[in-house]
Structure 1
Amino acid sequence: MFKKFAPLLLSVALIAPGLAAAQGKSEVKLGFAKCAHCLPMALTPEYSSNTKIEAINFNSGNDVLTALVSKSIDVAQVTYLHFITALDKGFDVVAISGQVNGGSEILTAKGVDLKADDWDALKKLIAIYKAQGKPFRVAASRGNAQDIHMRGELMLHGINPNKDVQFINIPNPSDHAAALQRGEVELICTVEPFASQIRMSGVGKHFSLPYNQAAGNLTNLIVTRSDVIKEKPQAVRDTVGAVVQLVDKLKSDRQAWVEVINKYTAMDANVANEALKNAYPDYFMHRKSAQAIAVMMKDLKYVANDVSAGVDKAMDYSFLSAVTGKPKTELGY
């Protein structure tokens, strides 16, 4: 009898450790936003063998941050702006990796006659609107990187974003094209792939890439909470490892990136490929620039406090160092 079932028992014995390992896997819920440089986060589960990563898509970075601080998710892809905003509000957030930068573009509506990067002409046009008693309307998604990129760029070129223009908040970037088409705004700073969609459809035209202000082209950060680090340190390390592998993959092979943009936005490959011209995979965490962003956000009255001194404490390079084998001084510190 035993001989009859011996092969089966042996098979079960061999499979059981694997089943046990699978059942014992740590799990991480990871949130990411709907934009060209955020969407590759959907691929992170493919790069983690020891931790089960559940990648969850949200409409915006604001929604992702809300989910993180309310403990609905464990790890979040947000922006440097969200990171500083969270510190200003006293939230428990810890940055653990970079991801992708870039993705911002300022565009004008069809009826606005401005040449690319002609800031003097923009200032004159805003003055004309003022003289006529009309507001010069500019739009972005409040709280997103593009919002702070444009505000900083306006201030840099002598345009007071709190007095000289009227900001319109359009929370979902997928609604930006329609706002331009309906003539609801004169200028907009949006995120890829929606920026490329706007240009390629003729709804608006390129004005500037807003990367001269303090934030430069910095966009995305991967953040978690201190309780997650305490309770799941190995899972956090595995997640950072997956992000690092993903970023390295994106640098050399963008086909999967194009496909994931198509999956989540239904935009075709031409728009996706165009969008990726304005995306820079980078897992470094740029500490000094983050501090400069914090100062700029205080100057713009975007946050109530200067939290630049707190940036150091809220950036944990240990996971990046462990995964890459590099000291933090080589990872953006």
Structure 2
Amino acid sequence: MKKMNGILLLVLSAVLLLSACGQSKEAASSAGSTTVRIGLLKNVTHAPAFIALQNNYFQQQFGSNTKIEVTAFDNGADFATAIATNQIDLGYVGPGPVINQYLKSKNIKLIAGANNGGAVLVVRKDAGIQSVKDLVGKTVAVAAKGGTPDLSLRLLLQQQGLKVSMDTSGVQIVTRAPADTLVAMRQKEIDATLIAEPWGTQIIQEGSGTILVDWNKIPPKDGNYPLTVLVASDAFLKEHRDLAKKAVQANKQSIAFIQQNPEKAYPLISDELKQLTGKGMEPALIKAALDHLKLTEDITLEDIKEQAKASFDAGYLKVKEDELDFSSFLDLTLLNEVKKEK
């Protein structure tokens, strides 16, 4: 009996040892896992992000031991607040909101471009507008104050010697969400809009407006200005620089895929939009949006300075002009490394 008890004790010890080893490995695996929280906007101009998710470029780059959480925002201001307060790690946004947030918190880095341009100036067919100068006394809608289309509109008016005003002596600028802009144009509540695609094409297709200034004539730089960029928090870059670099690589892959396989990209972009908003988009509209922008991972400090100056002149940046220093905001070291490795 004693011998039998000894054998049982040995077996039990072995089972407990194997169980402990298994738990130890599982704990080690769990301890080594990472969650990357990606933010983006529910807009087709964020196509590189959509393709990176649909084609699993992020997951392939990060590895199977990394979990991805996606948060979709309605506007860039909410995105900028989220990344500054550590609610997300990296993601896609327009430069305007993060420029503003950077000046407040100094804890965000712009690490790559995604696309340039992508907005058009559409006028109501019966508004009697034949040129930009005809906008005097008219009401023009933009999606948000301080957003890239708003800044582009102000630069366009400035080029034509026009002023922004609250009365008919100048051009009145109002804010409308893109979907509301379509209705406002149809009901003659506004006379024009500088709006990102595909909303401009939708207005034209329904017959209520025409393009007055196409995307490749919109300032600054005739449409070659950053509309969507890839940013990361300082904390994420410090703790997971390797993963941030892989996000830059996934972004590059996505841009290349869209450029080389546009017909395959349209349904994928629509599928991601459907996941984010509950509604997809017709391929023709997605094509219109992508045809009216330049996909590129490249961006320069001059691009950022130009947009910041426009935002400052509009009164959106509450700092002194000599405080518009973005040398620490733009960090292209990861992008340059990715380019060298190709």
Structure 2 length normalisation: TM-score?
A: 0.78
**Divergent runs of 4+, >4 A:** 17-23
How many residues were matched structurally?
Answer: 298
SS at match of 1:311: coil
Tell me the CA shift for residue 309 of structure 1: 4.7
Q: 1:314 maps to which residue?
A: 329
- Matched to 1:246, the amino acid is S
Uncovered stretches (5+) of structure 2, i.e. residues with no partner:
1-24, 274-278
Written as runs of structure 1 = structure 2, the 5 A alignment for 1:30-179 is 30-45=38-53, 46-48=56-58, 49=60, 50=63, 51-115=66-130, 118-120=131-133, 122=134, 126=136, 129=137, 136-142=138-144, 143-162=146-165, 164-170=170-176, 172-179=177-184
Measured in 2, the distance between the counterparts of 1:268 and 1:18 equals: 46
How high is the sequence identity, in percent, across the aligned residues?
21
Aligned pair in 2 of structure 1 residues 234, 64: CA closer, same or farther (>3 Å)?
same
Q: 1:187 maps to which residue?
A: 192
- Matched to 2:132, the amino acid is W
- Matched to 1:42, the amino acid is F
- Matched to 1:104, the amino acid is A
Q: 2:287 maps to which residue?
A: 273
- Whether the aligned pair in 2 keeps the contact of 1:94 and 1:314 (CA below 8 Å) is yes
Uncovered stretches (5+) of structure 1, i.e. residues with no partner:
1-16, 130-135, 327-333
**Bigger Rg over Cα:** 2
Alpha-carbon deviations, 1:38-94, whole Å to 9, x = none? 143123241132244333322222232222123221112111212322233334211
Q: 2:210 maps to which residue?
A: 205
Q: 1:220 maps to which residue?
A: 228
Measured in 1, the distance between the counterparts of 2:89 and 2:209 equals: 38
Q: CA RMSD in A?
A: 2.7
- Matched to 1:166, the amino acid is Q
Measured in 2, the distance between the counterparts of 1:247 and 1:307 equals: 35
Measured in 1, the distance between the counterparts of 2:268 and 2:180 equals: 20
Q: 2:12 maps to which residue?
A: none
- Whether the aligned pair in 1 keeps the contact of 2:120 and 2:218 (CA below 8 Å) is no
